Structure 1
């Protein structure tokens, strides 16, 4: 506050008994004015602490965008184009990969509970299919396929095996069904870890593959052929 303003305020605030303004020295006048202006009635419409913090935050964001627009080719328009490109890439990745459903430290194992037979997994799959729970039906049918291959000794029972690993290993012994096995493993991964939703057709494909594999004869490897001879 200027000296003139301080004296003028003091004259308005400090009056004698006969209502005649009294001249007050500069420092006491300034202190009197500060005391007067510190009263709550003068600050009723001041922003609160949260509003002040938000104002500072948006000022900071604005300064960042100003600096970025100055550095981006084409100025503000170029910055807008870059932002739209980034949003487009993120959207494309989300559409392709789906919403992540995996928890930190999870393992992509095929079997997440105690050992069950192939027939038990098939029964569970049919129960889910009857109720229209296609994701669970697909998962149980893939487990039935792998468990059946283990029971037939096409695959060695191995804890922690993933659907992809099972499909690759079984495809070497059943080359005519290698593509179907890999497609089924991808379907399992999509609904289990990729946030995708299965449908009736997806389940029927796995069920048909399960039936075909039951009738298929595995091809012996070189080592197995030598042992058989």
Structure 2
């Protein structure tokens, strides 16, 4: 029986056939409803998290409900700790000190602090008043002028020369650090405390050594 041209089977080698199929399936019309790369990534992460939760719940008393309870308690504890301590302040880096600009007198720092206070810029006022206190101690030679000295170091050294004000000097340094490095806002009350301390530091008589000289706060080279 003769075979017509329409009945002749069409054979395509396997390699070209596969390439033709891949080329056809790569067309955008077949992928319009595919999830985006972000969606696929999120789905993968969710699957991993779901697997982790299933594994953890199997090992936790009470199963999933017990695990959820533990997670909630941990989150509440973290929130409570955050509210209690506030934002953790960054520690001053090496070389960071009280005075970042050109040297100024204690009187100049006080004037700048008062200017900030008049405009309710309490954080700036707190910083400048603390600088005024330390500069005043340096001017009275109760502290040796030293670049890079931090507020904590200045308070500790000054406390040895003025032991009656040591605790308040330490509190003032802590306030300075909280405002400068801990992103805590200055307040009128904090500034008023520093201003009062500044006045008392100016009036305070240093502790005398056996030779009758003022006990130095810092060590001289």
Q: TM-score range by the shorter chain?
A: 0.7 to 0.9
Q: Deviations over 1:33-90 (max 9, x none)?
A: xx6x958666543434432332222111111121122223332222223222332333
The count of aligned residue pairs is 204
Counterpart Cα distance in 1 of 2:91 and 2:186? 21
TM-score, with structure 1 as normaliser: 0.74
Change beyond 3 A, Cα 1:227–1:108: closer
Which structure would you say has the larger Rg?
Answer: 1
1:210 to 182, 198, 204: 198
Provide the C-alpha distance between the structure 2 equivalents of 1:132 and 1:72, rounded to a whole number of angstroms: 54
With over 3 angstroms needed to count, the CA separation of the structure-2 counterparts of 1:227 and 1:188, relative to structure 1, is closer
Whose RCO is larger (CA < 8 A, sep 6+)? Answer: 2
In the alignment, which residue of structure 2 is the partner of 1:61?
Answer: 49
CA displacement at 1:216 relative to structure 2: 1.0
Are 1:79 and 2:67 counterparts?
Answer: yes
Does the 8 Å contact 1:142/1:206 carry over to 2? Answer: yes
Q: Deviations over 1:179-208 (max 9, x none)?
A: 221111111111111111121111111111
Distance 1:80 1:221, change over 3 A: farther
1:202–1:215 Cα change, 3 Å: same
Matched residues in 2 for 1:168 and 1:191: separation?
A: 19
Gaps of 5+ in 2: 1-5, 7-16, 216-221
Deviation per CA, 1:140-189, whole angstroms, max 9, x where unpaired? Answer: 00010011001001111122211112112111211221222111111111
Aligned to 2:212: 225
TM-aligned CA deviation for residue 118 of structure 1 = 0.5
2:132 to 119, 129, 144: 144
Residue in 2 that maps onto 1:7:
none
Q: How does 1:19-168 map to 2 (within 5 A)?
A: 38=25, 44-100=32-88, 102=90, 105=93, 108-168=96-156
